[in-house]
């Protein structure tokens, strides 16, 4: 009995994850300017309508799995893998939300752009960066990990999170505009992050490196970095994941 091999992948999907306001969107936009033929897919574009977001402890909880249409997101990842392009029905709301200045100097971006283009083969398959706060937990239904080629995870602290959220005016949603109510970050965002990522990061912020390696998740080192340093690290991790990060050789070339 013969089996039909799976169709070849027409795109590479890279996860960029971490707590809300950990720098995912800023990093994704920087990476898009550095890597060729690169697009951003936002998990936030798969939120349920505002009226369906669950209520917990008096707050609408936008930071839990139940607020997302994970089946639709999984189907979009399958479509991208098989077709090498975004689903035609997907319209991004997240692109309307601000990310703020990156703080990365233009010469650094130009240098990394040149470095990446010297390492990757031509033509390069389309790269899709999946920017999302809830990508790697194994308990997700359906799980997203099997659809991701390389998995980047950014760390943050509650202090940093509070400062960054305070500087944001709010978020465009399917049915309107969302602003954090008082106490939302401490009582919802951070609590959900600690709970959902306990398999990867301990309560004291220590990274469970063996677990991360077992899942193929590339976790930022503890201690906090400037975005310029985070970008340098992420570029190296993605190149290595693509087989282009050692000795300038591209795997399979």
Domains of the chain, first to last? 16-241 (3.40.50.300)
Low-confidence ranges of the chain (pLDDT < 70): 1-8, 93-100, 169-178, 245-253
Give pLDDT tens digits for 87-124: 998 887 666 556 667 789 999 999 999 999 999 987 88
pLDDT of 245: 65
- Please provide residue 164's backbone torsions phi and psi, each rounded to the nearest 5 degrees: -70, -40
Question: Of the candidates 38, 101, 46, 50, which has an alpha carbon nearest to the alpha carbon of residue 69?
Answer: 46
What is the C-alpha to C-alpha distance for residues 148 and 16, in angstroms, rounded to an integer? 10
pLDDT, residue 167, reads 75
Residue 203 is predicted with a pLDDT of: 77
pLDDT at 137: 95
> Which pLDDT belongs to residue 248?
39
Q: What is the pLDDT of residue 113?
A: 96
Task: Tell me which residues are annotated as active site.
Answer: 44
pLDDT reported for residue 251: 40
């Amino acid at each position: 009995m013969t089996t039909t091999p799976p169709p070849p992948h027409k795109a590479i999907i890279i996860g960029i994850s971490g707590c809300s306001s950990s720098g995912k969107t800023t990093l994704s936009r920087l990476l898009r300017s550095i890597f060729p033929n690169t697009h951003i897919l936002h998990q936030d574009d798969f939120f349920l309508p505002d009226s369906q977001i669950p209520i917990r402890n008096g707050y609408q909880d936008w930071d839990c799995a139940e607020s997302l249409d994970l089946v639709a997101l999984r189907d979009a990842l399958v479509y991208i893998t098989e077709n090498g392009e975004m689903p035609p029905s997907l319209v991004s709301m997240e692109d309307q939300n601000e990310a703020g200045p990156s703080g990365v100097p233009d010469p650094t971006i130009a240098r990394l752009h040149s470095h990446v283009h010297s390492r990757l083969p031509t033509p390069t398959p389309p790269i899709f960066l999946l920017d999302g706060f809830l990508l790697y937990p194994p308990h997700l239904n359906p799980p997203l990990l099997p659809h991701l080629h390389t998995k980047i995870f950014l760390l943050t602290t509650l202090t940093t999170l509070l400062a960054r959220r305070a500087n944001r005016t709010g978020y465009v949603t399917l049915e309107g505009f969302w602003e954090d109510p008082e106490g939302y970050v401490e009582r919802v965002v951070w609590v959900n992050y600690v709970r959902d990522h306990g398999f990867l990061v301990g309560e004291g912020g220590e990274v469970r490196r063996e677990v991360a390696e077992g899942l193929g998740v590339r976790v930022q080192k503890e201690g906090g970095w400037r975005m310029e340093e985070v970008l340098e690290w992420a570029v190296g991790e993605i190149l290595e994941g693509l087989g282009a990060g050692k000795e300038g050789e591209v795997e399979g070339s």
